[in-house]
């Protein structure tokens, strides 16, 4: 008798590999056992290796979880501010190269470890907010042998005394790492209910959203970017009526060519997702059944829940108060060093060569470069290169590698057969980005290596 199929989950992004379904976008047929997957296979969503997947049953945490071996030292060799993916990744990479360093991590929230990309696909996976939790701050700290201080807001950094002031006291450091992340951008329309617009940028916000969603039949999404589009598909799979109010004329206009955007629009229409382009919300008021929205195009929309997904803005307040060099983000070099010796920055708050790369793969490389600069003889440097992005849009498989600076070039169609499209971003007769859809996404990894091989 054959063994039942198993499910494995990516520890980094939360993608689930179901042996029964396989992953046809990666060339893995339904029924492909995990042990039979080639060792060079990578997570199609966040690009980590096969070894970063674990059996879903193994991700469940037992009661009486292990407590940190170290207390949060007020005199740290390494002091990390922020407990998102970047903060924990920095601690992990440093611990790999130095087992003795005193590492303290400070976080204003509970420091829970969870795969953030899963927030826009959890509904279709039948996963509750509790299912997304991978480890508490205490459990992760114990695993890495670091100290963690939760519910602690950092108020200021004294760069001359190598000390930070927090709501629970002061902490000194030899080296400081800013992993302060980014906050969700918000809207401020007129009306008595504008303050009830929901944003989802962390697990706690997702829990509140999930609770509200249980008694809702219609959701209005504001935004037409990557996250808004992924949420629309996820909500649709949950059986909720979805409409999107989009300021521009097409989906994901910042990263995706118009040809694929049109195909995706058609697919969303097929799912009865209502897309309202070239429109902005001007007011939001309560009604007997939920909310009434009005747009600048004169439309009146009735809905039960409003979610804004219009982008993120780096948290720069601490860096600016400390007089670090900032632009779009906190400016860093190839070692992830800021303008102040002994202070580093990583993740959604960090800018290198004029670019912020708020994706998991660049953050992992930043963490390696940072750890190398602090404790390793090897020269691991962070380099800004285009990112490979897999959209979580089940209705149309899409993989993108947008150009870092889309200024003077244009998208040119290379292949166009039904929903199978390949476009290259051409500038001065050279390709600096690509976009694939349909069956052609299977060639994304090879094309990426070919295009950006150094």
Does residue 206 register a pLDDT over 50? yes
Q: Which residues contact 447 (CB under 8 A, 6 or more apart)?
A: 401, 434, 436
For 118-160, write each residue's pLDDT tens digit: 999 999 989 999 999 999 999 999 999 999 999 999 999 999 9
Does residue 60 register a pLDDT over 80? no
Tell me the pTM.
0.91
Answer with the residue of higher pLDDT: 66 or 389.
Answer: 389
End-to-end CA distance of the chain: 49
Q: Say if CB 123 and CB 234 are below 8 A apart.
A: yes
What pLDDT shows up at residue 42?
Answer: 81
Average the pLDDT over each of 56-65, 193-202, 259-268, 350-359 and give the range with the smallest value. 56-65
- What's the token pair of residue 151? 């519910």
Walk me through the domains of the chain, giving residue ranges and CATH numbers.
Answer: 7-59 (2.20.28.10), 75-183+313-375 (3.50.50.60), 186-310 (3.50.50.60), 397-452 (3.30.390.120)
What pLDDT shows up at residue 68?
Answer: 60
Average the pLDDT over each of 13-22, 281-290, 367-376 and give the range with the smallest value. 13-22
What pLDDT shows up at residue 70?
Answer: 73
Question: Mind spelling out the 3-state secondary structure of 377-408?
Answer: CCCCCCCCCCCCEECCCCCCCEEEECCCCCCC
Q: Say if CB 48 and CB 78 are below 8 A apart.
A: no
For 399-425, write each residue's pLDDT tens digit: 999 999 877 889 999 999 999 999 999
Average the pLDDT over each of 63-77, 276-290, 389-403, 433-447 and give the range with the smallest value. 63-77
Tokens 């697919």 locate to 267
For 295-337, write each residue's pLDDT tens digit: 999 999 999 999 999 999 999 999 999 999 999 999 999 999 9
Question: Whole-angstrom Cα distance, residue 356 to residue 346?
Answer: 10
For 83-116, write each residue's pLDDT tens digit: 999 999 999 999 999 999 999 999 999 999 999 9
Q: What are phi and psi of 131, to 5 degrees?
A: -65, -25
């Amino acid at each position: 008798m054959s063994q039942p199929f198993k499910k494995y989950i990516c520890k980094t992004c939360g993608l689930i590999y179901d042996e029964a379904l396989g992953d046809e976008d990666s060339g893995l047929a339904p029924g492909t056992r995990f042990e039979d997957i080639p060792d060079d296979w990578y997570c199609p969503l966040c690009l980590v290796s096969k070894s970063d997947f674990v059996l879903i049953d193994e991700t469940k945490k037992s009661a009486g979880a292990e407590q940190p071996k170290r207390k949060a030292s007020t005199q740290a060799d390494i002091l990390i501010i922020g407990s998102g993916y970047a903060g924990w990744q920095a601690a992990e990479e440093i611990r790999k190269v130095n087992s003795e360093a005193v590492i303290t991590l400070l976080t204003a929230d509970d420091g829970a470890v969870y795969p953030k990309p899963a927030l826009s696909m959890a509904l279709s996976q039948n996963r509750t907010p509790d299912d997304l939790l991978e480890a508490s701050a205490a459990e992760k700290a114990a695993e890495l042998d670091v100290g963690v201080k939760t519910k602690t807001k950092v108020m200021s950094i004294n760069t001359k005394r190598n000390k930070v002031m927090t709501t629970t006291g002061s902490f000194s450091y030899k080296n400081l790492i800013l992993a302060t992340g980014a906050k969700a951008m918000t809207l401020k329309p007129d009306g008595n209910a504008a303050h009830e617009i929901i944003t989802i940028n962390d697990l706690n916000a997702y829990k509140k959203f999930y609770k509200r969603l249980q008694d809702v039949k219609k959701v209005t999404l504001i935004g037409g970017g990557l996250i808004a589009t992924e949420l629309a598909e996820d909500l649709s799979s949950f059986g909720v009526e979805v409409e999107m109010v989009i300021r521009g004329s097409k989906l994901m206009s910042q990263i995706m060519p118009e040809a694929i955007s049109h195909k995706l629009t058609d697919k969303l229409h097929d799912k009865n997702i209502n897309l309202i382009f070239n429109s902005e919300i001007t007011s939001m008021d309560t009604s007997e059944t939920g909310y009434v929205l009005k747009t600048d195009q004169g439309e009146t929309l009735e809905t039960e829940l409003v979610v804004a997904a219009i982008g993120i803005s780096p948290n720069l307040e601490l860096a600016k108060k400390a007089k670090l060099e900032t632009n779009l983000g906190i400016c860093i070099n190839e070692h992830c060093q800021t303008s102040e010796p002994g202070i580093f920055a990583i993740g959604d708050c960090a800018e290198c060569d004029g670019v912020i790369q708020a994706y998991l793969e660049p953050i992992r490389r930043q963490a390696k470069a940072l750890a190398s600069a602090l404790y390793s003889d090897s020269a691991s440097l962070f380099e800004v290169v285009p990112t490979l992005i897999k959209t979580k849009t089940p209705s149309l498989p899409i993989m993108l590698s947008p150009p870092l600076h889309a200024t003077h070039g244009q998208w040119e169609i290379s292949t166009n057969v039904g929903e199978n499209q390949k476009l290259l971003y051409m500038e001065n007769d050279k390709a600096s980005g690509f976009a694939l859809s349909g069956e052609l996404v299977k060639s994304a990894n090879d094309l990426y290596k070919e295009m950006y091989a150094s």
